[in-house]
Amino acid sequence: MRWFYLIFILSVCRAAEDFRICSYNVQNFNMQKASNYKLIHTLTRVVSRCDVCLLQHVVDVDGRAVNKLLAVLNRYDDFTYKSVSSQSLGNSPGDMQQYVFIYRTEMVNLTGQHQYSSKQSFVREPFVVQFQSNRTAIKKFVLVPLHSEPSKAVHEIDRLYDVFQEVSKKWNNKNVMFLGDFHASCAYVTRKDRKKIRLFKNSNFSWLIGDKVDTTVTDDTNCAYDRIVVHGEPFLKAIKPFSAQVYNFGKDLKLPQTRVLEVSDHFPIEVRLKGPASTEVRVKGSAPFLIQATPLLLLLLSVIGQFVL
**Tens-place pLDDT, residues 94-130:** 899 999 999 999 999 999 999 999 889 999 999 999 9
Planar angle of CA 257, 262, 266, nearest 5 degrees: 70
Percent over 70 (pLDDT), the chain: 84
In sequence order, what are the beta bridge partners of 109?
132
- Entry pTM: 0.86
What digits encode the pLDDT tens for the residues 125-140?
999 999 999 999 999 9
Helix, strand, coil abundance in the chain, percent, nearest 5: 35, 25, 40
What digits encode the pLDDT tens for the residues 253-275?
999 999 999 999 999 999 999 99
Residue 278 has pLDDT above 70, yes or no: no
pLDDT confidence tier of residue 5, bands split at 50, 70 and 90: very low
Report residue 78: phi and psi, to 5°: -75, -20
Nearest C-alpha neighbor of 198 from the set 212, 178, 214: 178
Q: Whole-number mean pLDDT of the chain?
A: 88
Q: Which domains does the chain have, with CATH numbers?
A: 18-275 (3.60.10.10)
What digits encode the pLDDT tens for the residues 201-240?
999 999 999 999 999 999 999 999 999 999 999 999 999 9
Please return the burial class of 67, using the count of CB atoms within 10 Å of its CB with bins 0-12, 13-18 and 19+: middle
